[in-house]
Structure 1
Amino acid sequence: MYESLKKRFTDQFGTKPGFVFSAPGRTEIGGNHTDHQHGCVLAGAVNLDTVAAVARSERGAIRVLSEGYPLCEVSLSELEAVPAEAGTTKALVRGIAARFAALGHSPMAFDAYVTSTVLPGSGLSSSAAFEVLIGVILNHLGSCGLTAPEIAQVGQYAENVYFGKPCGLMDQTASAVGNIIGIDFADPAHPKIQPVAFDFASCGYSLCIIDSGASHSDLTDCYAAITNELKAVCRVFGKEALRDVPEDEFYARLGEVRQAAGDRAVLRAIHVYEDNKRVRLQLRALENDNFPAFLEYVKESGDSSWMYLQNVIPEGRTARQEVAFALALAKHLLGGHGACRVHGGGFAGTIQAFVPNEQLEEFRGGIEAVLGEGSCHVLSIRPEGGILAEVCSHD
């Protein structure tokens, strides 16, 4: 299965790999931008992954060659953050190795050749899959014994502190753990993970991710504005995260919050409160095999993201509003059936749709006729998270 990948490793590094590792992309099913506020999410690992052929190294460095990109090399003797590396692969690798060291584990040197079907900017979290992949490699090579949620936390640390993106923990957790899970981040150091035994296909629906055609690459300020505005709300109450601000107290002091943080911040906070409750309702609907109710909550979450969270159209954009257009097109093609919503961070990337199987081909054809061939991805849930996929026979 991995013969081509292993050959490319050998061609590039001049030796044979000892292992193949894999980490999946993820789809956010419920809870949009709630994780960084210590909220609740519903997420699933998907059958698109980032894969690496790996060999131990004596060079004292981690070398990662991702297909189509220059070689990334990080010396294990230089693990302090480098501000000039912010936003780069090197920052992620250095940050993950540094976190392993801070946790008392000596990061091991290795070479890796990486390929991915989780396309950058796709909204399926290619960055989290990469972070989990590097974390799983270091965890295995060093026999460190970190759990999947702990590997997720290492990835988040690297992305927050070294890469410079203020992400929550949902993406990494979903990739590291696998399957469909409910996650409660009330205690971010020890998130509560609830496995969900549910098969969307059993309900006669397909899970589709539609590429809007716009990249996330220049939108870090848009994502940072969400967390910064929610922090402004929290400061009114002397708290760090919205989960620690009782909803009734928020509404009791609404005028004061508007004055301090502004109306958009208030609307975004309302979205977080409501989406946290919706995640619990979605979990209950799936547990009770009530898929029609689940779809209604998907629609409600999508409406809330657009109206209150406001992560569908980047600020100031008029002529190009790709996510909004993709949502309008999907809603038209669904014709009142199924559901669609903005997916993941928003502003660009992808939308999500639950499509009745009898409409799937017509739906996909309609999407791709406008947004381009290959823009509609029909996905399935992957049971495994980040894993050692193969031990090569010669190692």
Structure 2
Amino acid sequence: MKKTNEIKEALKKGDYKDLLTDIYVDESRIEYQTERYIKAIEKFEKLYGEGDAAIYSAPGRSEVGGNHTDHQHGEILAASINLDAIAVTRKTDDNMIHLISGTYKEIVIDVNDISYKESEKETTKALIKGVLKGAKDHGFDIGGFTAYVTSDVLIGAGLSSSAAFETVVGTIISHLYNDGKMDAVTIAIIGQYAENVYFGKPCGLMDQMACSVGSLVHVDFAKPKEPVVEKVEFDMNKYGYSLCITDTKGSHADLTADYAAVPQEMKEVAAYFGKEVLREVSMDDIIENISKLREKCGDRAVLRAIHFINENKRVGKQAEALKSEKIDEFLTLIKESGDSSYKYLQNVYTVNDIRHQNVSLALAISDTVLEGGKGVCRVHGGGFAGTIQAFVKNEAVPEYLEKMDKVFGKGACNVLKIRKYGGMKVID
């Protein structure tokens, strides 16, 4: 294991330039990443002293296909991105964890006491304890360490900053105490357990899976406890496209009912057929029973069911297009996904506030700027407020960035690349 001063000097000399370029893809960001790593090490040294250390990383993620499909046991396609959480870490032998994340206070955990506590719900401490308990329940060893964690995964932009954190903690445990033998899928499942049980957020598995596995990941949740996971290797940069995420700055306040209504209405349609989720319902079922469904569940529920059935089929087609390197077909499917979310799923604005339609406006501006084959766009994640996603030709990125920032404020649009690595040890 290298010393902190050795790693800093190597970073300053550019010894890790090729490694960082391989991880973060965008050469224009390597200077930023180098400085970021150096500052993280310096912070760690101030907190825990100079000496042996390793650096771990886990990326954020972007949903690519499968808008509101996972909760109906459907399929999703998601991508790891070149924003991540990094952790400068040192193993200890006292069974104590001392961790500071960003500018927050130090978290101290006794590994001998990782029981759930209601008072810790919705805290970072709960996430760490949940990962430890999940790892232990899966038969892995756990132990103490010191760590300084810093993340540039945008909070509140639908890029899964919490899943990146869970993944980096799981990756640390894997390498420090299990010789790196905790596979990516298991780390993702443990992360979901931590978020569901200890943190108290009923999320699906998509976020953790994309952060942990890396590149693009195609997941089929037909059997939620045994998801079928396929890593899809595809170099988007090779084809001259960037992934742009725009935070439309819409308020998420009072949207709980809007979010909850999506799975609720889908399940109402499924229940009409005696099923738990829409994965078990076909389009023929919908068409043959449309009159009674409209009467019993309402038109919006029927439209949302139609979205799910078509979107679920679309995910597999997207994955196949990428594997066959048919970029134009893939982009056409992305556009179809966005249109379906807008027209049928109807998660681009809340009906309780028609005056503010940030996501709809972002999509309209994007369609205008990207016309003529410059790219495609879609709503990203849960919808209603929040973010949109666009695949933009590299030469059109400056114009797109300028226009989106003009509407939603400087820094609203972030130009990303798809990274091929999930949770990983970067430097040891």
Q: TM-score, normalised by structure 1?
A: 0.89
Q: Distance in 2 between matches of 1:99 and 1:185?
A: 20
Q: Distance in 2 between matches of 1:384 and 1:182?
A: 15
Cα distance change, pair 318–69 in 1 and its aligned pair in 2 (3 A): farther
2:134 is aligned with 1:99? yes
Q: Is the 2:93–2:143 Cα contact (8 Å) retained in structure 1?
A: no
Q: Distance in 2 between matches of 1:149 and 1:157?
A: 12
What SS does the aligned partner of 1:292 have?
Answer: helix
Alignment of 1:212-361 (within 5 A): 212-214=248-250, 219=255, 222-254=258-290, 257-258=293-294, 261-314=297-350, 316-337=352-373, 338-361=375-398
Q: Is the 1:278–1:301 Cα contact (8 Å) retained in structure 2?
A: yes
What is the Cα deviation at residue 260 of structure 1?
A: 5.5
Task: Return the match for 1:159 from 174, 177, 195.
Answer: 195
Q: Distance in 2 between matches of 1:215 and 1:325?
A: 14
Aligned position for 2:222: 186
| Deviates further, 251-260 or 187-196 | 251-260
What is the Cα deviation at residue 159 of structure 1?
A: 1.7
What SS does the aligned partner of 2:222 have?
Answer: coil
Cα distance change, pair 217–15 in 1 and its aligned pair in 2 (3 A): farther
Aligned position for 1:364: 401
What is the Cα deviation at residue 303 of structure 1?
A: 1.7
Task: Return the match for 1:39 from 60, 74, 78.
Answer: 74
What is the Cα deviation at residue 15 of structure 1?
A: 5.4
What SS does the aligned partner of 1:381 have?
Answer: coil
| Bigger Rg, which one | 2
What is the Cα deviation at residue 108 of structure 1?
A: 1.7
Q: Is the 1:322–1:348 Cα contact (8 Å) retained in structure 2?
A: yes
What is the Cα deviation at residue 339 of structure 1?
A: 0.8
1:376 alignment partner AA = C
1:31 alignment partner AA = G
2:389 is aligned with 1:389? no
Aligned position for 1:115: 150
Aligned position for 1:53: 88
Cα distance change, pair 197–105 in 1 and its aligned pair in 2 (3 A): closer
What is the Cα deviation at residue 216 of structure 1?
A: 5.4
2:142 is aligned with 1:139? no
What is the Cα deviation at residue 301 of structure 1?
A: 0.8
What is the Cα deviation at residue 389 of structure 1?
A: 1.1
Q: Distance in 2 between matches of 1:366 and 1:260?
A: 44
Q: Is the 1:121–1:215 Cα contact (8 Å) retained in structure 2?
A: no
What is the Cα deviation at residue 140 of structure 1?
A: 1.9
1:384 alignment partner AA = Y
What is the Cα deviation at residue 362 of structure 1?
A: 1.4
Q: TM-score, normalised by structure 2?
A: 0.83
Aligned position for 1:65: 100
What is the Cα deviation at residue 251 of structure 1?
A: 4.3
Cα distance change, pair 176–351 in 1 and its aligned pair in 2 (3 A): same
Cα distance change, pair 79–221 in 1 and its aligned pair in 2 (3 A): farther
2:277 alignment partner AA = A
Aligned position for 1:149: 185
Q: Distance in 2 between matches of 1:275 and 1:18?
A: 45
Which residues of structure 1 form unaligned runs of 5+?
none
What is the Cα deviation at residue 98 of structure 1?
A: 1.8
Q: Distance in 2 between matches of 1:238 and 1:359?
A: 49
What is the Cα deviation at residue 222 of structure 1?
A: 4.1
The Cα offsets for residues 185-229 of structure 1, whole Å up to 9 and x where unpaired, read as: 223333323333433333333221112124658755543443343
| Deviates further, 121-130 or 227-236 | 227-236
Aligned position for 1:129: 164
2:98 alignment partner AA = R
The Cα offsets for residues 353-394 of structure 1, whole Å up to 9 and x where unpaired, read as: 122333221121111222222222221111111001111xxx
The alignment yields a C-alpha RMSD, in angstroms, of 2.6
1:127 alignment partner AA = S
What is the Cα deviation at residue 181 of structure 1?
A: 2.6
1:195 alignment partner AA = K
What is the Cα deviation at residue 157 of structure 1?
A: 1.6
2:411 alignment partner AA = G
Q: Distance in 1 between matches of 2:160 and 2:239?
A: 26
Q: Distance in 1 between matches of 2:279 and 2:104?
A: 40
Q: Distance in 2 between matches of 1:334 and 1:353?
A: 9
Cα distance change, pair 57–227 in 1 and its aligned pair in 2 (3 A): farther
Q: Distance in 1 between matches of 2:129 and 2:387?
A: 29
Q: What percentage of aligned pairs have identical amino acids?
A: 47
Cα distance change, pair 93–379 in 1 and its aligned pair in 2 (3 A): same
Cα distance change, pair 289–383 in 1 and its aligned pair in 2 (3 A): closer
What is the Cα deviation at residue 63 of structure 1?
A: 3.2
| Deviates further, 92-101 or 237-246 | 237-246
Q: Is the 1:303–1:341 Cα contact (8 Å) retained in structure 2?
A: yes
